[in-house]
Amino acid sequence: MADVFIIGITGGVGRLLAPKLHSRGDTVRGLVRRDDQQAELATQGMDARVGDLSSMTVDELAAAFRGADAIVFSAGSNGGSREVTKAVDGEGVAKAIAAAHLAGVERFALVSVLPESWRERDLGEEVEYYFAVKKEADIALSRSELNWLILRPSLLVDGPGAGAVSLGPAEFHGQITRDDVAATLAELLHEPRIGRQILELNTGSTPIEEAVRANVR
């Protein structure tokens, strides 16, 4: 059992990850923007801190992290405005890394993006900026002294998970359900032998638990 703090606990991946961890017996905490979100999570047995990542200080974030065994950063602008991308995907990650150091939390998992996603399309300046900022965040985390993990899923879609994936240092870009991403992340967080690794994730035929074990160094 672990104490996991999720930034993005109400987002596409985070809201699916939280109950998966909770059902394993983990203590699940997170950061939300509104009181009603905090109240809803409380009914599910999960604790949330109300705050805005973009305006919180490193000290405030560290205070929220304290006591956690792992931090999951699954928040993101999804290629929205430059201001949000910079505040969340860029400065938000940098702030969370600094806060993790301050709080003494070594395990840090970041949900990133496959670098070649949508290369066949004309993405527009804001989405291109999003990819550049995500890459900068990957680099910043990989150069930190934390026990980091960067997970790069292919195109995220909704729907029930298949329970089988393709996971490794390099994967093709296709699509994968957010549910399978959350299930893979839950399994990765419970595999202490995986750390300081970048793993890419796509739909596949290998059961998630087996796929995770295959990436133990």
List, in order, residues 6 or more apart from 124 with CB less than 8 Å away.
none
Full DSSP string of 80-120 = --HHHHIIIIIHHHHHHHHHHHHHT--EEEEE---TTTTTT
CA distance 158 to 36: 24
Between the CA of residue 12 and those of 7, 85, 157, 213, what are the distances in Å?
12, 16, 9, 25
Q: Which of 39, 54, 41 is nearest to 5 (CA)?
A: 41
Is 130 catalytic? The answer is yes
Contact between 169 and 194 under an 8 Å Cβ cutoff? The reply is no
**Residue 123 in tokens:** 């993405």
Nearest-angstrom CA–CA distance, 40 and 34: 10
Catalytic residue, from 73, 130, 131, 148: name it: 130
Tell me which residues are annotated as active site.
130
